[in-house]
Amino acid sequence: MRWIRRLSIRWRITLGSLLVAAVLLSGALVLFRAQVENILASTTTTVLTHDAFPYVTGVLDSPTPTIDTPARGQLVAVVDPTGAVKESNLPRGLRSRVAIIAAKSDGVHTVLDGDDSYRVLVQTIVTDAGDWTVITARNEDSAVLSLQRITSALIFGAIVLVIGVGVASWLLTSAALRPVARMRRQAMALVAEGSTEPLPIGPAKDELFALGTTLNEFITEVRQSVERERQLVSDASHELRTPLALLKTQLELSHLASGDAKALEAEITAAERSVERLSGLATGLLELSQLQAHAPETLSSWPELARELAASVDRARLLAVAKNVTIDFDVSEEPTDAAYRISPSNFGRVIANLTINAITAVPDGGTVRIALRYSSSELLLAVVDSGNGMPEDFLPVAFDRFTRSDGSRASNNVGSGLGLAIVHAIVTAAHGTISLSNGAGFTVTVSLPTAG
């Protein structure tokens, strides 16, 4: 059946229609022919019974009946109780076999005489004088010929209908696929022109409209994905250029300081910091790439996220020791059966990035407070630090890649500018929202809707 797969949709639909039409019409032809044959046989039996009726009545009415000569066109034979043929105008071939035919059971039989076929009705009439037998016959050649002609006409009509169905199917399929071909030509024209316009869709709310809408959504998603990748490559190239140039300079200076151990150590230390920054950039770019790959959705329960928060805070406290920063967290003690569209590992990445940003921004001896709450419709995570906050004009672009504040939180900011971008990507993938605000400390609020 592989050759069928190679055919066009138009040919497959046409051949399928032809096959269905041929099967249905063949079945209808067989049933109709059988019905006609049954009608002809029933009609012949009725005629034979009518031919025999006067003779049956005559025998029943009189013990010594007078047998009339059969009318023209009637083939009749009457046999008395002694076996003598009282009257017969049967054809010669049947006349010689009257005794054999009379011995048959009552009913209709088919008897052959050379090339001729006769339908014979045998009836036994029981009288006081004995059993009479009345035989009537009809030549079946005319009925067979009529049936053959009807069958030929049915076959010819069925062939014409099948061909008509095939032609109609071809024309209708061509008409149905014409808009698809037009859409394909329009798509090729848009590609040739380098246009970013969507495919034009007709006003009819049909399957083609649904196909065009789905294709436009797919094209938009692909374009956005390509644009994100292009922008990511552009941003990464721009961002990597500076640390790479600085690292090259530091390595060149280390060669010049080869005779001065202290100067050489200082240049190596500076180079290590540049490598660390490059490593952070590469790790952040990899995380963003993974998040934008649309991984399968994962549901997490409230206890799983609460445990992840406690573990993330424990890890953050190890980093906060150097600046004597106090990290406190508060989790709602009320249990809930709600689930949220985020994995525990991604939830931990959100907390880690926000906490590290807060530890970096607050002065020595500062505080970071984390609270985890929920309502019937959402989960709320709040991270509040005692730092000086961000400039108001920076807040709208804080989640863009490679952006770093030049204001009050920038004094210790040596990050890659990807932390908040990663947090935003995780929260968005979980169908949530994130907001930044200055006030009594700098506050980051994450809202995740309840699944289902």
326 & 434 share domain: yes
**Residue 427 lies inside a defined structural domain of this protein:** yes
In the block, residue with structure tokens 């970096």:
360
**Residue 90 lies inside a defined structural domain of this protein:** no
User: Which domain does 375 fall in, by range?
Assistant: 300-449
- Which pLDDT tens digit goes with each residue over 373-429? 998 899 999 999 998 888 888 888 888 776 766 544 544 444 556 778 888 888 988
- The pLDDT of residue 123 is 92
323 & 431 share domain: yes
Number of domains in the chain: 2
327 & 363 share domain: yes
Domain end residue (candidates: 233, 262, 291): 291
- Which pLDDT tens digit goes with each residue over 88-134? 888 888 888 888 888 889 999 989 888 888 999 999 998 888 899 99
What's the CATH code of the domain at 276? Answer: 1.10.287.130
305 & 441 share domain: yes
Domain end residue (candidates: 291, 317, 346): 291
356 & 431 share domain: yes
339 & 422 share domain: yes
- The pLDDT of residue 190 is 74
User: What CA–CA distance (Å, rounded) separates 80 from 82?
Assistant: 5
431 & 375 share domain: yes
407 & 347 share domain: yes
306 & 433 share domain: yes
258 & 313 share domain: no
- The pLDDT of residue 412 is 46
Q: What is the mean pLDDT of each run of 10 residues along the chain (452 residues)?
A: 76 89 92 91 90 88 78 86 87 86 90 87 89 91 87 92 92 84 80 74 77 83 74 62 69 71 74 70 65 68 92 89 91 86 89 90 92 92 90 84 59 60 87 89 92 79
- The pLDDT of residue 289 is 64
- The pLDDT of residue 87 is 85
**Residue 123 lies inside a defined structural domain of this protein:** no
Tokens of 16: 């399928």
Tokens of 53: 């009726």
- The pLDDT of residue 410 is 45
- Cβ atoms of 256 and 283 within 8 Å: the answer is no
**Residue 48 lies inside a defined structural domain of this protein:** no
Handedness of CA 98, 104, 107, 113 (dihedral sign): negative
**Residue 132 lies inside a defined structural domain of this protein:** no
Q: What is the pTM of this model?
A: 0.48
**Residue 407 lies inside a defined structural domain of this protein:** yes
How do beta strands 300-301 and 85-88 pair?
unpaired
